[in-house]
A and B are shown apart, each in its own frame.
Chain A
Amino acid sequence: MQKEFPQMIQIRWHGRGGQGAITAAKVVAEAAFKSGYTGVVMAPTFGTERRGAPVSTSLKISRAKIYDLSPITTPDIVVVLDHLIINEVDVTAGLKPGGLLVINSPRPVQEHQLPGYRVAVANVTKLGIEAGLRKGIVNSGIIGALSKASGLLDIDMLTRCIADEFAARKPEDNARSAQLAYDATQISEPNKGDAHA
């Protein structure tokens, strides 16, 4: 079912240097573009990143051309490629009330609930290994969790774009990793989160 979306969807991605958050955002940008969105802007925030340090990138998706390239300050969706980043970075900074937080975590969704937000969790690290990927390859899998939780883009389009992006690096395993994460994603709605807060 196609949902009603606001004029522009803003997705902020948090990962670690070397984890491939920018590549993941790029794949989703490509899928959005191929799905008919005219306005797609994926703008990485470049700092003095090194392997392992927290990094972030902005993805804006709209039916109309996007003119403002400044970084996202009030995201609709935040994607976190490593749940431990939550201890280091204020990942929900500016997240709109009722907004969606997608996390790669070995813990169940109940342990990540946040008042006022939708939270989606999948153990993308584990599912990636099941899909045949090297341990720690999570940037393809997290896309599946985002797709399931947001309903923003069709999972078949996303897995096709993943296979294209990873054409020389296990395209099928990467696509399968996203499909497995899609199937396994657990979602906690905001009111439920409030009750447990």
Chain B
Amino acid sequence: MSKKLIDSGNAAAAMAVQLAAAEVIAAYPITPQTPLTEKLSELIAAGEMDAEYVAVESEHSALAVCIGAASAGVRPFTATSSNGLLYMSEQLHWAAGGRLPMVMCVVNRGIGAPWSVWNDHQDAISQRDTGWIQIFAKDHQEIVDMTLKAFRLAELVHIPVMVNYDGYYLSHTYMPFELPEAAEVRAFLPDYDYKHTLSPEHPESLNTVTLPDARNDINGVKQGSYMDIRHNLHQEMCLAMDVWEEIDADFQQRFGRGGAPILDPYCCDDAEFVVVAMGSIANQFRDVVDRLRQDDGLKIGVLALQMYRPFPIARIAEALQSFKGVMVCEKGLSYGNQGALYADLKSALYPYPARPRLHNFITGLGGREIRTDDLYLALKTACLQDDLTTPVQNDTPQWIGLQL
């Protein structure tokens, strides 16, 4: 029997990892991730989870332990936030380049300096080019479901997966969610079977120094070198989008939830304007959109981006190409340029001649309160601007909630 309960987002993540039967947990505490790994250590200590908890002295070591575990054919899990993720950065590239399947929850938090323990997305966005798959959850149910699906994706495509959810907004907030039955999860997520498992009987050289050119192996078979290996990572990461959709379809059949694994639209069918966002703020926008439709008669919808890397270029461009205006609202940016998502989206829309006008909003950095009224006003202003006979394309990020 599945179980419905109310608990924190961190607890939801921990229970999903328990259901996924992760075998090695290595993590270093950092706010707001700490309660997640505390819960896992409690489950293991109480004998309710058959896993090895490795207490490490840093995030760098946490991911190194996971890399070792995955190499030995064991299912690892770790979690972190903010500067902890950055301390792992070298190992992030290594895990992806080494094609080691693993799942990490990143409980999104702003990066110091100055210190902030509160939420934004700069931690995950700054690691977007490491070769990890990055998905973003909007609520506790998605934390559970995405974590379970992420293990299967990682192990099918041999690429590590980062499950992102908002610090405090989700990690420390209590809301209801459903946990599937353990036996049904086992049927959905079979044991991890790694064909390159470290074994003295079958010695292999893995991730040694590669020369610039491809060369033959000891059997005379031509093997790609660094560039070829990295090319394959890119190709297979792009294909992972299709695999993610297949996994979601199977999950939906088994558990009755899913159907929007990459893009989750709300009120977009008849819309002229669409706001694009990731994580819990995309849900907040649903209420804003309802109000703009009801009070102002504006035909507006919201498109939640659930998968940021690989970036669903074709899917998102096709979904957005014919709208009048698109507002991209982000909790992070590429300093000196624009929001990273905004730039990605603008680039994806380039081939479409009828592409919409674009607006870039930055909000909620370091936990700055995101007032629903402010979002309402920002969207309304942007819609009215797009309705002018000669609208101006403003490429400069607009900040919502500044207190300067």
Binding site for B on A (CB under 8 A): 26, 29-30, 33, 38, 40-44, 46, 66-71, 73
Contacts and interface: CB of A to CB of B under 8 A. Distances in A.
A70 B370 contact: yes
Contacts of B286: 67
A73 B374 CA distance: 13
B118 A46 contact: yes
Most buried by A among B6, B173, B280, B372: B6
Contact of B6 (A30, A46, A66, A68): A30
A67 B169 CA distance: 11
Residue from A41, A44, A70 having most chain B Cβ neighbours under 10 A: A70
A38 B176 contact: yes
B318 interface: no
A70 B174 contact: no
A96 to B, nearest CB: 16
Contact of B174 (A40, A46, A68): A40
Nearest to A32: B6
A46 B173 contact: no
Interface string B295-325: 0000000000000000000000000000000
B34 interface: no
Contacts of B370: 70
Contacts of A69: 169-170, 173, 280, 283-284
Nearest to B4: A33
A43 B6 CA distance: 12
A33 B283 contact: no
Interface centre among A33, A44, A68 (most CB of B within 10 A): A68
Contacts of B254: none
Contacts of B280: 69
A67 B287 contact: yes
A70 B176 contact: no
Contacts of B230: none
Given A26-B174, A67-B286, A69-B173, A40 B6 contact: yes
| Interface pairs A-B: 8 shortest CB-CB | A42-B174, A67-B283, A33-B6, A43-B173, A67-B286, A68-B287, A68-B284, A69-B169
Given A42-B175, A43-B172, A43-B174, 8 more contacts: A26-B174, A30-B6, A33-B5, A40-B176, A41-B175, A44-B173, A67-B283, A67-B287
B369 interface: yes
Interface string B1-37: 0000110000000000000000000000000000000
A90 to B, nearest CB: 16
Nearest to A26: B174
A103 B280 CA distance: 33
Contacts of A33: 5-6, 176
B173 A41 contact: yes
A71 B176 CA distance: 18
A55 B173 CA distance: 15
B77 interface: no
B284 A46 contact: no
B273 interface: no
Contacts of A42: 173-175
Contacts of B174: 26, 29, 40-43
A68 B372 contact: yes
Contacts of A71: 369
Nearest to A46: B168
Interface string B154-175: 0000000000000011101111
A40 B284 contact: no
Contacts of B175: 40-42, 66
Interface in B143-195: 168-170, 172-176
Nearest to B176: A33
28 contacts: A29-B6, A29-B174, A30-B6, A40-B6, A40-B175, A40-B176, A41-B174, A42-B175, A43-B169, A43-B172, A43-B174, A44-B173, A46-B117, A46-B118, A46-B168, A46-B172, A67-B283, A67-B284, A67-B286, A67-B287, A68-B283, A69-B169, A69-B280, A69-B283, A70-B284, A70-B369, A70-B371, A70-B372
Contacts of A67: 283-284, 286-287
Nearest to B31: A46
B336 to A, nearest CB: 30
A39 to B, nearest CB: 8
B92 to A, nearest CB: 27
Contacts of B284: 67-70
A44 B169 CA distance: 9
A30 B8 CA distance: 11
B8 to A, nearest CB: 9
Contacts of A70: 284, 369-372
